[in-house]
Each structure stands twice: as structure tokens, then as C-alpha cells.
Structure 1
Amino acid sequence: MTPTQNPGRVVVVAGATGPAGRAVAHRLAASGTRVIAAARNPGDWDDELITPAAVDLLDAGATRAFADATAAAHGRVDGLIHLVGGWRGGKTFAATDLADWAVLHDLLIRTVQHTTLAFHAHLRAAPAGRFAIVSQLAAQHPTQGVAAYATAKAASEAWTLALADSYTGSDAAAAILVVRALLTDAMRRERPDAPFAGLTHVDDLAATIAGLWDRPAAELNGTRLDLSAP
């Protein structure tokens, strides 16, 4: 699906400096969207439609101030794409280190909470507000070695579904994009003979995200879109 050209659209990409964030930001900008690339250290971007924004998403006050300033500067916020990631795991349940849980709680849950609370009203006020997180199959089918990770992902999914419920009957929508794992061109170069079965390329993820605005809110809201290959 080719995303609709919309030069007036403003979308915040949280966690924009990773491979997925960069793919999503560039894909959205290619459709004419003004992208606010948010991260602690957003770096430099070579696209005039991508504006870096330094913000600590673990700071609730700073995140809310960032949301309000973004809406004031651009007159609207049409989307929030949460791509703040992190992974910790092991081999057995008994070997689970709760220090990993503390890290994952902040990265995968707290940043979702802060950003969605900060942008909630702005997305609802937009002509077609969209929110999306990237989750993983482990959230629904956890194995013993990823107890902390799977629990964090499941919690972020539950939070997103609660957000979706708050958007019922409006033109805003919140959705969960499910992958087995993400694939990049660098991974292919490093392991040219690996099959990477079931992995979702970051460019395919970006295409799906860019197409969220082409789907009616009532159809999209509260859904889990499985992007993992068979």
C-alpha cells in the first residue's frame, strides 16, 4: 500500500535513532509528513522534513512539555509511533535477573505511559490521530528465558489497548504491531547465508506504519497486526 501524500501531517517517532526508527522516519518523510524524531540524543538527519528533538521520555514532565511544545509549534500532532526498544533475557526461568526487569520496565512500559499520557489529547484532537507500538510474539506466548521481557511487552500491549478504548467513537486509533524480531540490511550483510525466517524487515515495518492513516479509525483501533511471517 502506498501511503497517502499528506504534507500537513505531523508525526512524532519516539526512539527514532535505532534502525527501525530511522526507517520509519524516512518512510513518513517520503510521504510529505513532518517527522519529529525524538530521543535523548536524536543526532543529525539529512532530511529537511525530519526535525530532531532531544527529550528524556523517562521524565514525565519533560515529555508532557515536549508534547505541548510540538503541538504549539506545528498546530497539530497526527501520530505518535513508539519505537523505544530494549531486550534482556536468559535461558531459564530460575536464572531470571530482576535487574533486567527494572531496565525493561523503564524502556518498554514507562516510556509508553509517559508519551501516551502526554500526547493523548493532541492525538484525539487531530483529524486522524494514530498511535502504534511494536510488540513481540513473546507477549502472548512467553517462554521461560524471557519472562521479564515478555511481561514488559504484555504490559505495554495492555496499556495500548486501554488507550484504544479511550479513543472509541473518535477519529483516533491505537494499534499494536507484532513481530517475531526485526531485520535490517546490516544483519543480512553480516550473515548473508542466514534465512532470517519469520523476521520483519524494518522497511516493511515502516511501510505498515505509513499506511496506518489509510485505514479507518474504527477498523484499526484496538487491533493487533501480526507482521511476523509464517
Structure 2
Amino acid sequence: MDTGIEGRTVLLAGGTSAAGRSVAGALRAAGATAVVVGSDAGRLASAAAEIDGVVTEQCDLTDPDAVAALRDRVHAAHGGVDGILHLVGGWRGGGGLAGQSDEDFAFLLRSFTALRNVTRAFDDDLRASDAGRLAIVSSTSVARPLAGGANYAAVKAASEAWTRAVAQGFTKAARDAGADPSAAAVVFRVKSLAGLEDALALAFLGLWGDPAEDVNDVTIELAGA
């Protein structure tokens, strides 16, 4: 079955995790180019050895100049991207509200900073594609925040707000051009990604099987069996 993903180029930001590797493998099996971006050379080499034909790029996604250089390399090699999955994350928390340290908040904020950098750098690519797709992995804690995870929930909420703003930008650009929407931004929420790696891959690839206007600015909760 044609999923609409064959021949497309998709960037996986923070893609050396188990979830990233699952998505990269699914992209390659479907005939897409998967560009796995990470900061750790060893983990990138491991992903390249594990997934046939995957492209790897080492980049500090919290550095806007490094992301601009990444964009230039991807443009030179692949002509741009049709999709982005943001997987930069991590957890720190506990200890109630008093335990929400500045150090932990700074660590968690790196994910949001990376999201801002990547989406701004590749926004034109997604708008120019006839099926641009952006997705982030957020947390059910946004809807049900706890004192011990306040830092984490706040950063995830900010990431969701940013992604929804990107979605509105896609809609406005299409309307201003008098064209049908072709790009979409989606939020996936999970309680934990453990055990949901393949479900995420299936849901992400499925975004290309739906019209942009049906999935733009949509929140999808992924749950285990």
C-alpha cells in the first residue's frame, strides 16, 4: 500500500534512542531517507550499523549556528526535508515542588531550545514540500501535571504550544497563497515511550497517509496495548 512516504527525506532530531531507531528502520523499510541527528558520535555509529542505509548527522541542536550548518548539509545532500520528528528529551524530577531545581529545568529546557532551532531552520522546507510533516513526542503530564514533575510538564507544555504555533503558520501560509494545505504539525502524547517505539513509528509514518488539513494541529495520545 502506498503510504506517501516513499522517496521522502525525514529528519529525526535526537534519533539515536530506541524510539528513534524504530522510526528510522520503519522509514527505510518504506523507502524513505532517514536522517538521524544526535550529539553522541558513538550512538550515531551504532545506529548506522544497526539500520541499513540510514544517514547520520552529528549536531548540537541547542546551537542555532550548528543547526544552520546542518540544514546546509542536508540541503546539499538531499535537497531539503519533508518531515521532522522531534525526539530530543529526557526526564528529571521528583521531590515535590521544592525539588524542581534550576539545574534540572536547564537540562529539560534543552529539548525546547532544540525544537525551536530545528523548526525555524527547516520551516521553509516543510512548507515547500507537497506533504511536509512535523511531529513531536510530548507527555500526558501536560494534561495532568504533578508537583514532582512541574519542570518537565512545563517544558513539554511549551513544546506543544510552539508546535501548535507552527501548525497555525502552515495554515496561514496556505491560505495566503490561495492553496490547499500541504504541511501539518502534530503532537504525540505518551505516558512513557517504553514499549511504544513501534506504535510511534506506525503513527508517524501514517501522517503521510492523511490529508494535511486532517492532521494539522492535532494531538494524538499513544497508549500501550
> Are the equivalent residues in 1 in contact too, given 2:5–2:208 (CA < 8 A)?
no
For 1:1-230, what aligned pairs fall within 5 Å after superposition? 4=3, 6-41=5-40, 42-44=44-46, 45-46=48-49, 47-106=51-110, 108-168=111-171, 169=174, 170-184=181-195, 201-229=196-224
Contact 2:135–2:187 at 8 Å: present in 1 too?
Answer: yes
Match of 1:191 in 2: none
Report what 2:177 is aligned to: none
Structure number having the greater helix percentage: 2
What is the rounded CA distance, in whole Å, between the counterparts of 2:75 and 2:96 in structure 1? 46
For residues 136-188 of structure 1, the C-alpha deviation after alignment (integer angstroms, 9 at most, x for no partner) is 0111220110010000000000000000100003311110001111124xxxx
Distance 2:144 2:2 in 1: 32
Give the Å deviation of 1:68: 2.8
Task: Please give the per-residue CA displacement for 1:56-88, whole angstroms capped at 9, x wherever unaligned.
Answer: 101101102211321232123110110111100
Secondary structure of the 1:152 match is: helix
* 1:3–1:103 distance in 2 versus 1, CA, 3 Å: farther
Instruction: Name stretches of at least 5 consecutive residues in structure 1 with no aligned partner.
Output: 185-200
Q: What RMSD over aligned residues (CA atoms) do the two structures have, in Å?
A: 1.6
Give SS of 1:94's match: helix
Letter in 2 for 1:77: V
Separation in 2 of the partners of 1:88 and 1:3?
40
Q: Deviations over 1:19-57 (max 9, x none)?
A: 111111111111010111111122241334311111110
Structure 2 contact 4–208 (Cα < 8 Å) conserved: no
Distance 1:100 1:227 in 2: 26
Q: Is the deviation greater in 68-77 or in 210-219?
A: 68-77
Rounded Cα–Cα distance in structure 2 between residues aligned with 1:163 and 1:204 = 24
In 2, the alpha carbon distance for the partners of 1:159 and 1:31 equals 29
TM-aligned CA deviation for residue 215 of structure 1: 1.1
Q: CA deviation at 1:222?
A: 0.6
Q: What is the CA–CA distance in structure 2 between the aligned matches of 1:219 and 1:55, rounded to whole Å?
A: 33
**Secondary structure at 1:183 match in 2:** coil
2:76, 2:166 → 1: CA distance?
A: 23
Q: Provide the secondary structure at the position in 1 that maps to 2:98.
A: coil
Match in the other structure for 1:190:
none
Give 5+ residue unaligned stretches, structure 2. 175-180
Number of aligned residue pairs: 212
Provide the C-alpha distance between the structure 2 equivalents of 1:155 and 1:6, rounded to a whole number of angstroms: 29
